[in-house]
Amino acid sequence: MSQAPVVRLQNVTKVIGKRTIIDRVSFEVQPGEVFGFLGPNGSGKTTTIRMIVGLMGLTEGDIQIAGHSVRKEFPKAIIHVGAIVENPEMYKFLTGYQNLLHYARMNPSITKERIQEVIELVGLQGRIHDKVKKYSLGMRQRLGVAQAVMHRPKLLVLDEPTNGLDPAGIRELRDYLRRLAQDEGTAVLVSSHLLSEMELMCDRVAILQKGQIIDVRSIRGQTVDKAASEEVQFDVDHPDAALGILEGQGSGKIVDGLLTLSVDRTGIAALNRRLVEAGINVYGIRVKTKSLEDQFLEMTGSETIG
Ligand SMILES: Nc1ncnc2c1ncn2[C@@H]1O[C@H](COP(=O)(O)OP(=O)(O)OP(=O)(O)O)[C@@H](O)[C@H]1O
C-alpha cells in the first residue's frame, strides 16, 4: 500500500519485572482500515493498546502515530488519537447531547455541526436528548465513540468493544465503525478475543499469542464458514509418482497414503487432468475446508478464543 500508515508499531517490547509481556510486536494500520487485534485472554492486547495511547511506556521499539513517535513527540502523536480503553466516563444524569457538549467545550475546533455529524454517524439521533442513565450498554458505547471521534482523530482505538454487547449491538458497532473508516478515512484498531466477531468487522487482523504476533492476514468478506484455504486430498494408485508429477504445485505431501495439497478450488480440476494425462489413476478427490477458526486454533494451540 502506498499510503503512509496512521499507526506503525516497530518491535514494540514491554518487560515488566523479569517478564517479557510484549515481544517485538510490529504492525501498521492504514487510513480507512478496520484492523483487528486478536488473541486469547492474557496474550497482551490491552498492554499493547495502553502503550499506543500513552497509558504505559515502552521498554523497546517505537510507535508512530501520523508519523510522530509516541516516545519522542507524545503531544503531537496523541492529538491524532481517539480511544476507549477503559469504560468511557459519562455523566449519567446529563443527556447524551449535554455530555458531548461538555467534551466539545475543551476543544474549540469542534463545532455544533460536527457534534450533529458524529451523533448521526453512530446512529444516536433518536435518543441523544435522553439521560445517559437510561441508555443501554450499546448506546453508552456509541456515545463514547461519538465523543472519541469528535475531534476527527486519524486513529480510533477500542479495547474489546464487543464485550457485553448482544448480536444486534455488535452488528451496529460494525456498521458504524465501517462508516467511520469509509466516510472519514479513520484508521480503526479494535481488540477482541473472538475471531467470529473480528471476521465480520475487520479488513485485516493481527493474531497475538503470548505477546508475539504470529500472523497478520486479510479477512475482509470471509466468514468462519467460508474457506480461507483448502486442503485437497487425491486418492491415487501411485502417490509417490503423483507427487513427482505435481512438483512445484504448492506444498504437496503424502498423508495416510493420500496425495495432499493446498490449492484453491479452480486448481483442483487442472491438477486432476495432469495426473490422469500422466497415467495416474485417480479414485477420489476430497476437499478439506479449513476455516479461519480452524487456522486460528491451529496457530494458537489449545488456548481458547472465547
Ligand atoms: N502491570 C502488570 N504487571 C505484571 N503483569 C502484567 C501487568 N499488566 C499485564 N500483565 C500481564 O501481561 C499479560 C498480558 O496482559 P493483557 O491484559 O495485556 O492481555 P489481554 O490480551 O489484553 O488479555 P485480556 O483479554 O484478558 O485483557 C498477562 O499475563 C498479564 O498478567
- pTM for the whole thing? 0.77
Q: Where are the alpha helices (DSSP H) in the chain?
A: 45-52, 74-78, 96-104, 112-121, 137-149, 167-184, 195-201, 239-245, 265-277, 292-300
Nearest CA to ligand 1 atom 24: 41
Domain boundaries, the chain: 7-218, 227-299
Q: How far apart are CA 81 and CA 150, in angstroms?
A: 11
Ligand 1 proximal residues by C-beta, below 6 Å? 16, 21, 39, 41-47, 193
Query: Does 3.30.70.980 match the CATH number of domain 227-299?
Result: yes
Distance 42 CA to ligand 1 centre (A): 5
Nearest CA to ligand 1 atom 31: 42
Query: Does 3.40.50.300 match the CATH number of domain 7-218?
Result: yes
User: What cell does 25 get?
Assistant: 510486536
Nearest CA to ligand 1 atom 18: 44
**ipTM over 0.90 threshold:** yes
Distance 22 CA to ligand 1 centre (A): 9
CA 236 to the chain's CA centroid: 41
Distance 282 CA to ligand 1 centre (A): 52
> Using 50, 70 and 90 to split pLDDT, how confident is the model at 143?
very high
51-106 confidence digits (pLDDT tens): 999 999 999 999 999 999 999 999 999 999 999 887 777 899 999 999 999 999 98
